Structures are given as C-alpha cells and as structure tokens.
Amino acid sequence: MEKNNEGMRYPSVDQLLKKFDSKYKIALIAGQLADTFKQNDLSIKDAKCVSKVGLVLEEIIKGNVNATF
C-alpha cells in the first residue's frame, strides 16, 4: 500500500465529520489517541498515513474509534 506523505489531504474532513459532529471533537480524540500511539510505540500495518494523528484519523473513518462526550 502506498503511504500518504501529502499532509492533511487524507483523510478528508468531510469523511471525518460523518463520524463526529464537530472538528473540535475530532481534534481532541485524534490528539489523545495519537499521544497514546506514540507513547506505546504503536502502529497499524495497513495504514496509508505516516503520522500518528493520520493513523488515528484513518481508524476513525474505518469506524474503529468510538467516543462519548
């Protein structure tokens, strides 16, 4: 699978907003989980994104991340 090195073009905000109703909620979730990924040296083998935040955003789109506010 080809990696995405283009920054925040993928995944799109429109796709993310279908999962959560606020950009701020998405940023909060992505930041917290990316920090967890970094601290525990976690990665996802079939991910397109190279950054930890990008990995989390991909998982949000796939429906693998749930959060309540």
Amino acid identity of residue 28, one-letter, is L
Place of tokens 């925040």: 8
How many CB atoms within 10 Å of residue 11?
Answer: 18
Is the pLDDT higher at 3 or at 68?
Answer: 68
Average pLDDT over residues 5-21: 82
Question: For residue range 27-51, what is the model confidence (pLDDT) as tens digits?
Answer: 999 999 999 999 999 888 888 888 8
Q: The whole model's pTM is what? A: 0.82
Gap between the Cα atoms of 59 and 11, Å rounded:
10
Gap between the Cα atoms of 33 and 6, Å rounded:
21
